[in-house]
Structure 1
């Protein structure tokens, strides 16, 4: 709703207008702070590609936890941002669960890196309670984990890391392995405090319980690989088909197909005999067929029925004359063929034939 002017403000505006002074409206501009001491290393497109990877990870993890806990689970990516490692470390609670992940892209020029997966204590105690047969209600605990509970959670985090590896492998060949599990954020000294990191913030919802989960990725290691799958997405989306190139490609494919050998077989008739009847066959025996000698012969190309033909001879050799295409896909016109006439000059095709005595 627009702000209403008081009578004094109205009189002041009228006085300025009568004196010829310009009335200048104050414009409010939104100012976005930027820290030049900590410049951003990644573009929005690169972070979007990273978001796509972890969206896939969220779907894989949701399916795995739903089957493991026998409860509906949903994992969503909430935010991806850059910050200093000490800022991230100072924001972590004293009691939490951390999984140290050894991340190794395939290739000699890539170096190993350590990822940190932070799982909220509510998720940890919920997992323990459900896996040990409980209802999952006792997850709002503030105590430390016991040795047995850590052993259970280490096994679960190992399976979670496998899903993270599968999500990354859609973009780059890599291996991810859980190396250790920690519970105190102040003792984590795997990354320098001033180093820039990328934080992937996930929201895990299992039943009535909702808790955060984060993945910390060093920017130095991410810079080595992020261009690889970012460029791949750009090429896939912006590729334009060249009509001349597509036409030449089709001609090459057609030429290769035309030079392919294909077996043509002519079958006059098929019949079934019992084994004892076949064993008693002798030369000069007559086998009655279900067709007349002037009936059509079935022609198969590569084992697929394609034509019908008439049986005949050409230069003292068995031959067939194609007369009709029976393939429902396409009925090409045969050279010199007239469907209403049976000319003697129609094309004859030699074929392997089985001689049947009658």
Structure 2
């Protein structure tokens, strides 16, 4: 606000102007440029960019974990990744999801309140079709879910949500508990309509279909741990002992994974008649010499060159070189 002059100060100023003691140009006020930022009180931004970035890092890890988990459950290759990470109001989130849908309400102790895990109908019907013996490739018509379908997908969602414990372990020790399931999002009154939420949308690539699932984290749930949602805090206090413990845990988990390893000695082309007449003791001529390296495949994909040999009383392959050293492409 501009300063208000008294009558005496005004008279003194006019007198100074008339005598030339003060130039009129010097009295021109230079208004400072004001930086105006638009703020909508209906949709307050409570999450900072730093908080959203940390949540994104946590749930990028969650996406990788549940990709592996879901692939194991349905015996098909699944790729899940974060598509968007945005801040909305709860009303905007509820208004923009399908009806019917499967909205799983759960707690993530010690966080406050309820969180929401939404799996849209396209995703749900595809998973149900595969679990019930189908291929999951056909198109599905939206309809109300039966009690059996809801029970099956609830069990599956409970497994997915339980993996949040692994995703959050670098920030906070958490435990999940499913509170309930709702198929009509309009009936769910978990939060106030104008409450700020962080909405993480995951894309799910399964077979020929591209679907989406959503994780809704209310601001109220993480308000008391906002200091831990800063990258500086996340990596603070990491010493060599912590790093060694993390490496040990990773090795232990990797040791429990079974993979199919195949060594391809070579190829041979024969006609159908010769194939049908094959018997034990027959010899096939391969297209490679015994001194040439063989290709080593993992899950039907070639990764290494190797040399076959004997290890004790067992046959084995010594890895000579990595065929594709681009780690990002192989992830």
What interval of TM-score do these two structures reach, taking the shorter chain for normalisation? Answer: 0.5 to 0.7
Change in CA separation of 1:32 and 1:159 when aligned onto 2, cut-off 3 Å = same
Indicate if the aligned counterparts of 1:125 and 1:138 stay in contact, CA closer than 8 A.
Answer: no
Residue in 2 aligned with 1:38? 43
Residue in 1 aligned with 2:275? none
Residue in 2 aligned with 1:233? 234
**Which blocks of at least 5 consecutive residues in structure 1 are unaligned?**
1-30, 106-110, 240-358
Residue in 2 aligned with 1:160? 160
TM-score, length basis structure 1? 0.53
Indicate if the aligned counterparts of 1:40 and 1:82 stay in contact, CA closer than 8 A.
Answer: yes
Matched, 1:54 2:59: yes
**CA distance, structure 1, for counterparts of residue 236 and residue 154 of structure 2:** 40
Change in CA separation of 1:103 and 1:37 when aligned onto 2, cut-off 3 Å = same
Residue in 2 aligned with 1:133? 133
**CA distance, structure 1, for counterparts of residue 237 and residue 204 of structure 2:** 32
Residue in 2 aligned with 1:102? 107
Indicate if the aligned counterparts of 1:84 and 1:197 stay in contact, CA closer than 8 A.
Answer: yes
Q: Cα deviation per residue 1:68-102 (whole Å; 9 max; x = unaligned)?
A: 12211111111211111111111111111110111
* SS of residue paired to 1:53: helix
Residue in 2 aligned with 1:86? 91
Change in CA separation of 1:120 and 1:100 when aligned onto 2, cut-off 3 Å = same
Q: Cα deviation per residue 1:194-243 (whole Å; 9 max; x = unaligned)?
A: 21111111111111111111111111221212312424236369x9xxxx
Indicate if the aligned counterparts of 1:157 and 1:178 stay in contact, CA closer than 8 A.
Answer: no
**CA distance, structure 2, for counterparts of residue 214 and residue 33 of structure 1:** 28
**CA distance, structure 1, for counterparts of residue 156 and residue 138 of structure 2:** 18
Change in CA separation of 1:32 and 1:137 when aligned onto 2, cut-off 3 Å = farther
**CA distance, structure 2, for counterparts of residue 209 and residue 37 of structure 1:** 37
Residue 43 of structure 1: CA displacement?
2.0
Structure having the higher Rg: 1
**CA distance, structure 2, for counterparts of residue 134 and residue 219 of structure 1:** 40
Matched, 1:178 2:178: yes
* Structure 1 residues 166-205: aligned runs within 5 Å: 166-205=166-205
Residue of structure 1 aligned with 2:80, choices 75, 83, 92:
75
**CA distance, structure 1, for counterparts of residue 195 and residue 47 of structure 2:** 14
**CA distance, structure 2, for counterparts of residue 213 and residue 222 of structure 1:** 21
Residue 46 of structure 1: CA displacement?
1.6
State which drifts further: 73-82 or 39-48: 39-48
What is the total number of aligned residue pairs between the two structures?
203
Q: Cα deviation per residue 1:283-339 (whole Å; 9 max; x = unaligned)?
A: xxxxxxxxxxxxxxxxxxxxxxxxxxxxxxxxxxxxxxxxxxxxxxxxxxxxxxxxx
Residue in 2 aligned with 1:66? 71
Matched, 1:224 2:224: yes
Q: Cα deviation per residue 1:120-151 (whole Å; 9 max; x = unaligned)?
A: 11111111111111111235221111111111
Indicate if the aligned counterparts of 2:50 and 2:229 stay in contact, CA closer than 8 A.
Answer: no
**CA distance, structure 2, for counterparts of residue 46 and residue 97 of structure 1:** 27
**CA distance, structure 1, for counterparts of residue 90 and residue 154 of structure 2:** 24
**CA distance, structure 1, for counterparts of residue 38 and residue 72 of structure 2:** 45
What RMSD in Å do the two structures reach over aligned CA positions? 2.1
* SS of residue paired to 2:215: strand
Indicate if the aligned counterparts of 1:82 and 1:196 stay in contact, CA closer than 8 A.
Answer: yes
**CA distance, structure 2, for counterparts of residue 175 and residue 103 of structure 1:** 6
**Which blocks of at least 5 consecutive residues in structure 2 are unaligned?**
1-35, 240-331
Indicate if the aligned counterparts of 1:100 and 1:114 stay in contact, CA closer than 8 A.
Answer: yes
